[in-house]
A and B are shown apart, each in its own frame.
Chain A
Amino acid sequence: MAPRDKTDIKANEVLQAVVLAETFSPKFQPLTEMMPFALLPLLGRPLLDYNLDLLYSNGFQEVYVFCHSRNADRVKEFVRTSKWSSFPPTRFVVNVISAENYVAPGDMIRDLDGKAYIRENFLLIEAGVITNTDLRQLMEAHKNNQVISNDKNLMTITVRKMAPDHLTRSPDEHFALVLDPSCKILYAHFNEHLNKNMSIPLKVSLANGRVSIRADLAQTKLVFCSKHVPAIFSDNFDYQHTNDFVKGIIEHEDIMGNSIYIHEVTESYAACITNMTLYSRIAIDVAKRWTYPYTIDMYIRDCHPQRGGYYVSSAGRIHPSAHVGQFSVVLGQVADGARITKSFVGEGSSVGKNVCLDEVTLGKNVRIEEGCKLTKCFVADDCVVFKDSTLLAGCILSPGVKVGPNVDLKQLRLQSVPLEDGLSGDVVDGVPDAAKFGKSCLAFEYTEDEDSDGDSDESDDLVLIEERWGTEDGKLSDGFCSQEEDNDDDEDDNDDDVLDGGESPLLSLDDTDLFFKEVVESLQRGIEENIKPANLILEINSSKHAYNVTITDVIELTTRALLTICVGEKKTGAQFMAVFRKGSTQIYGILKNYMKKEDSQRVCVEEIGRFYTSLRANCDESLIKTIQNVLNFLYQRDVISEDVVLEWFEDYEDKETAAHLKQFIEWLQQDSSEEGDTDDSSENDDGDEESN
């Protein structure tokens, strides 16, 4: 190989890259049960192949691929049989490194430190990264940042500017940065979940003069690191992810002096597959040739773009009466009358008569029989969908599944072998559910361990689907856009509340504040991941001890946190209720735990009243109306007693909010008069009222 770049030789520098070839996320299950994530094909080409091609083309010489031991054999086999192992060692070497104890990217980097492979700056790349950017240029930028910062720059994070409503933005990633004029990160906000509030420490804005706050950037998961990074990961064993690393470094910048920069990619494509929504989006982007030259016709040599904007390989057969729309790729056969849009039909697959495919990926040797209709699905190798079946909105069929005929499936994840631990009720004996999946089926529903309780299935699935495939109207969640005003309001509210409600003089404002934040975070995650209320209570209690908060405050703040979560994400009453219903298990469980006595119930109800009062100023009526639903819910579930509510209502000063409660109160009053005054505990409450 002729050396092309003389400066490289002179400096005798070897470009090293580390590929994190696992996704530590359940979002690709059950696909990742059956095959390594790195070998998941995107338009017929394994993700790892995209990475290696990128690294090779950019002159990288040493590549370390980290994967879990259970995938190691297949990844090694892939590398061994690919052309990437055929180069002289001085030009391109791929090493596959595996261990059993990887549970997060951080473990891989710690392992990297132990192995001492890294000699210089290196590139850290996730397997799902698809980009056509010039990595050498980025490496230069990284080195340049090191010069600017006197070698204190540990990392240069590559970001791509994308409009907030961009379709190639992860719906569950909220990412914002506070930067100084030289693009050094002053404060980073990563949020994998739905909290769109961001609070910036005061010192950031005070100490740094001109700062810019950027929410129009998307992470590309291309990170250039200095050679010290693995060691720092080893020192901080709690860093699970580069995000933790970034936060940690920035927090300790005063002490350690290290800093992190960003580099904005403007001229090229860069995105990372982190969920199924992005998977199908990026597949379309590749078909649209944004990633040129990493396009289909560069990998599958006989697959060429046609007039009409789709691709057909020489083995692909499309019946003249079939309609293949833009951005589709056909390597298999398409029978007459079929309509295909934005889909991929893999090698050896056949699409039957009058089949409709929309944003569907079909693996190799898949058979879709006549009359089927598939929308936003992933169908892996060797699956069969028998005739007249409908698969909608985010079905994932892992290899070898057979479904149909004549079934309607929606939002299901199916696999061809029964679940090992038999957690889900309908697959105990390993016989496929013919009633559900059709009489010729070979399919078992895949369920994650946690949500096998089956309490709030419906809403859970909905969230899953939204995370995987975007909401049903085809739009993804909108990141920071259009929520911004809303967020500001909320933050203001919270501040007000803290100021008004800072009742206990013993507590410093900060502690309650921090406690509140922590509770919000735990609850949010709890609702998101459907964690058992008991565990959440444990978390809240530990936070209580950490911040030394009184039990009254705990009740108050927990109540407020729950309501904030319900409100903070959405704006209207309907959406409030959706979240509320979804989190009902947790809300009920937690509040029930703290509200054993009537005085604590009183605290809770008062807090609800205060919350709605503060909310009323800046939201629409439908949201205020939900106060009735909230109280009713708590009453029905015996979290609060009617006397508490009634007494509180008498004292409630906010007449406008009270108007919305009228109906409920009247009904309560009726109820209690019918029952007669059997409940004497009301006397106890009078005294507590004063204390608040």
Chain B
Amino acid sequence: MAVALQKQVSLRDNMLANLEATLSANVKSGRQNTSQETAKLVLRSLTAIVKDKEWKNAQDLLRILRDFGKRLIEVDPTETVVGNVVRRVLKIVRDDYLRVHLGHSADQKLLLPHAVDDYATAYVDLKDHVLESIDEFEQEIDYALDNITQQADRLINDGEVILTYGKSRTVEAFLKAAKETRSITVVVVEGAPKYDGHEMARNLGNANIATTLVHDSAVFAIMGRVHKVILGTHSVMADGGLKAYSGAYSVACAAKHYSVPLLVCTPVYKLTPQFVTSEDQVGFNKLESPQEIYDFADGDFDEAEILNPTYDYVPPDLVPLFIFNVGGNSPSYVYRLLSELYHPDDYDLKGDV
């Protein structure tokens, strides 16, 4: 038994080490995965754990997954998607356990979070149920983009001028979908210091969308002529605020000033149960190399600190509407979605089970 347990632990460690290294290597070599790729990468290894590891009952499985998830999150605490996927899988295990446990007739009891206690009973068919649900979740991730873009023609009117900031795959697809049925003009803000707005503008221009590229400082000036602002985001916080690439806050403020409606396109796996208490909170922001804003070769001004934060926090009162793959929602509704997607016990993965 002891040997078996040890083997199991070392297997998991090995796997974790691999995934951990992949994730951190991606961060380090600058190969920024899209959030969808990250989500699928994590989901694949969680599936492998459910499939290959020896576990007796749901409690066992939950513990293994939690442990695994906890270590994974530590690799890069700012990547909220990793934690979100782990939480979703935990929720799936819990739900499926309940479903099996109560028989298929007791769906309404699922709503009560403490309907069952310890997840300790062993069921033979639990594994299949869990794998099936994970499969569904994977499909949800795959089709998230399609589900969002389908809402484009409902939300965008003919002849509108739309402003977007930097590059977001979701927004790009959304605008391209809108262009199919509507004639639109897009203003792209370049997004210093990464300037990924340049690529966005190029892509949109190639798709025959009338595109204007402006620099970040012109946001306020140009906002007066804009009908809608559409942003992508890195994650959606529990209060409905955004953790978006830096620069988004000033765009949102300008939109608020001119009363321009702002839409945020995002799949629900970017929804995280974390709150923001301050912007230098651990795991919220990432400070990257100052190289992007000041050339190292020019010599360092010794006493000055050069900051290059990656993210901005946009408070919920600046965000009128989210376009999720599950439909449009206002920030005040996010808490409800959260409780549907994740189990309250899993909000904090760092705590003990």
Q: Given the interface contacts A288-B305, A289-B290, does A53 sit within 8 Å of B28 by beta carbon?
A: yes
Given contacts A134-B29, A162-B296, 12 further A-B contacts (CB under 8 A): A1-B18, A4-B22, A57-B28, A83-B17, A87-B17, A168-B300, A288-B305, A289-B308, A290-B291, A304-B282, A307-B280, A326-B303
Q: Are A301 and B18 in contact (CB under 8 A)?
A: no
Q: Interface residues of A, CB < 8 Å — how many?
A: 46
- Does B330 have its Cβ within 8 Å of any Cβ on chain A? no
Q: Are B25 and A56 in contact (CB under 8 A)?
A: yes
- Does A306 have its Cβ within 8 Å of any Cβ on chain B? yes
Q: Which residues of B contact A4 (CB under 8 A)?
A: 22, 31
Q: Are A301 and B74 in contact (CB under 8 A)?
A: yes
- Does B353 have its Cβ within 8 Å of any Cβ on chain A? no
A contacts, CB < 8 Å to B: 1-2, 4, 53-54, 56-59, 83, 86-88, 132, 134, 136, 160-163, 165-168, 216, 266-269, 285, 288-294, 298, 301, 304-307, 309, 326-327
Q: Which residue in A54, A86, A166, A267 is a CB contact (below 8 Å) of B14? A: A86
Q: List 29 A-B contacts (CB under 8 A).
A: A1-B18, A2-B41, A4-B22, A56-B25, A57-B28, A59-B25, A59-B29, A132-B289, A134-B29, A160-B297, A163-B297, A166-B297, A166-B299, A216-B297, A266-B297, A268-B291, A288-B305, A289-B287, A289-B290, A290-B290, A291-B289, A294-B28, A298-B28, A301-B74, A304-B282, A306-B280, A307-B280, A326-B303, A326-B305
Q: Are B297 and A293 in contact (CB under 8 A)?
A: no
In the complex, the number of residue pairs spanning A and B with C-beta atoms less than 8 Å apart equals 92
Docked complex Cα distance between A289 and B307 (Å): 9
Q: Given the interface contacts A166-B297, A293-B27, does A56 sit within 8 Å of B21 by beta carbon?
A: yes
- Interfacial residues of chain B within 7-31, with CB under 8 A of chain A in the complex: 13-14, 17-18, 21-22, 24-25, 27-31
Docked complex Cα distance between A4 and B26 (Å): 10
- Interfacial residues of chain B within 24-51, with CB under 8 A of chain A in the complex: 24-25, 27-31, 41
Shortest Cβ distance from B309 into A: residue: A305
Q: Are B305 and A309 in contact (CB under 8 A)?
A: yes
Q: Are A58 and B29 in contact (CB under 8 A)?
A: yes
Docked complex Cα distance between A309 and B302 (Å): 13
- Interfacial residues of chain B within 198-249, with CB under 8 A of chain A in the complex: none
Shortest Cβ distance from A305 into B: residue: B287
Rounded to whole Å, the gap between the CB of A312 and the closest CB of chain B is 11
Rounded to whole Å, the gap between the CB of A158 and the closest CB of chain B is 14
- Does B132 have its Cβ within 8 Å of any Cβ on chain A? no
Q: Which residues of A contact B303 (CB under 8 A)?
A: 326
Q: Which residue in B22, B30, B296, B306 is a CB contact (below 8 Å) of A269? A: B296
Q: Which residues of B contact A56 (CB under 8 A)?
A: 21, 25
Q: Are B289 and A269 in contact (CB under 8 A)?
A: yes
Q: Which residues of B contact A54 (CB under 8 A)?
A: 28
Q: Are B18 and A163 in contact (CB under 8 A)?
A: no
Q: Which residue in B13, B25, B74 is a CB contact (below 8 Å) of A57? A: B25
Q: Which residue in A161, A167, A304 is a CB contact (below 8 Å) of B300? A: A167
Shortest Cβ distance from B294 into A: residue: A290
Q: Which residues of B contact A285 (CB under 8 A)?
A: 300
Q: Are B305 and A327 in contact (CB under 8 A)?
A: yes
Q: Which residues of B contact A306 (CB under 8 A)?
A: 280
Q: Given the interface contacts A56-B21, A57-B29, A87-B18, does A292 sit within 8 Å of B287 by beta carbon?
A: yes
Shortest Cβ distance from A166 into B: residue: B299
Docked complex Cα distance between A304 and B281 (Å): 9
- Does B298 have its Cβ within 8 Å of any Cβ on chain A? yes
Q: Are A165 and B299 in contact (CB under 8 A)?
A: yes
- Does B340 have its Cβ within 8 Å of any Cβ on chain A? no
Complex A-B, nearest 5 residue pairs according to Cβ-Cβ distance, in ascending order: A292-B289, A57-B28, A163-B299, A161-B297, A309-B305
- Does B288 have its Cβ within 8 Å of any Cβ on chain A? yes
Shortest Cβ distance from B45 into A: residue: A2
Q: Which residues of A contact B291 (CB under 8 A)?
A: 267-269, 290
Rounded to whole Å, the gap between the CB of A86 and the closest CB of chain B is 5
Q: Which residue in B24, B27, B30, B289 is a CB contact (below 8 Å) of A290? A: B289
Docked complex Cα distance between A87 and B295 (Å): 36
Which among A88, A267, A292 has the greatest number of chain B C-beta atoms within 10 A? A292
Shortest Cβ distance from A307 into B: residue: B280
Rounded to whole Å, the gap between the CB of B61 and the closest CB of chain A is 24
Q: Which residues of B contact A298 (CB under 8 A)?
A: 24, 28
Docked complex Cα distance between A273 and B14 (Å): 33
Docked complex Cα distance between A26 and B171 (Å): 58
Docked complex Cα distance between A671 and B235 (Å): 91
Q: Which residues of B contact A267 (CB under 8 A)?
A: 291
Q: Are B296 and A290 in contact (CB under 8 A)?
A: yes
Q: Are B300 and A166 in contact (CB under 8 A)?
A: yes
Q: Which residues of A contact B290 (CB under 8 A)?
A: 288-290
Q: Are A163 and B298 in contact (CB under 8 A)?
A: yes
Docked complex Cα distance between A216 and B18 (Å): 41
Q: Given the interface contacts A292-B288, A293-B27, does A305 sit within 8 Å of B306 by beta carbon?
A: no
Q: Which residues of B contact A216 (CB under 8 A)?
A: 297
Which among A165, A290, A291, A294 has the greatest number of chain B C-beta atoms within 10 A? A290
Which among B280, B291, B296, B308 has the greatest number of chain A C-beta atoms within 10 A? B296
Q: Which residues of A contact B27 (CB under 8 A)?
A: 293
- Interfacial residues of chain B within 299-350, with CB under 8 A of chain A in the complex: 299-300, 302-303, 305-306, 308
Docked complex Cα distance between A679 and B308 (Å): 78
Q: Given the interface contacts A168-B300, A269-B296, A289-B288, does A57 sit within 8 Å of B24 by beta carbon?
A: yes
Q: Which residues of B contact A292 (CB under 8 A)?
A: 287-289
Q: Are B302 and A167 in contact (CB under 8 A)?
A: yes
Docked complex Cα distance between A59 and B29 (Å): 9
Docked complex Cα distance between A87 and B28 (Å): 18
Docked complex Cα distance between A301 and B71 (Å): 11
Q: Are B74 and A162 in contact (CB under 8 A)?
A: no
Docked complex Cα distance between A305 and B287 (Å): 9
Q: Are A167 and B280 in contact (CB under 8 A)?
A: no
Shortest Cβ distance from B297 into A: residue: A161
Q: Which residues of A contact B13 (CB under 8 A)?
A: 86
Rounded to whole Å, the gap between the CB of B18 and the closest CB of chain A is 5
Q: Which residues of A contact B24 (CB under 8 A)?
A: 57, 298
Rounded to whole Å, the gap between the CB of A376 and the closest CB of chain B is 14
Q: Which residues of A contact B31 (CB under 8 A)?
A: 4
Docked complex Cα distance between A216 and B295 (Å): 14
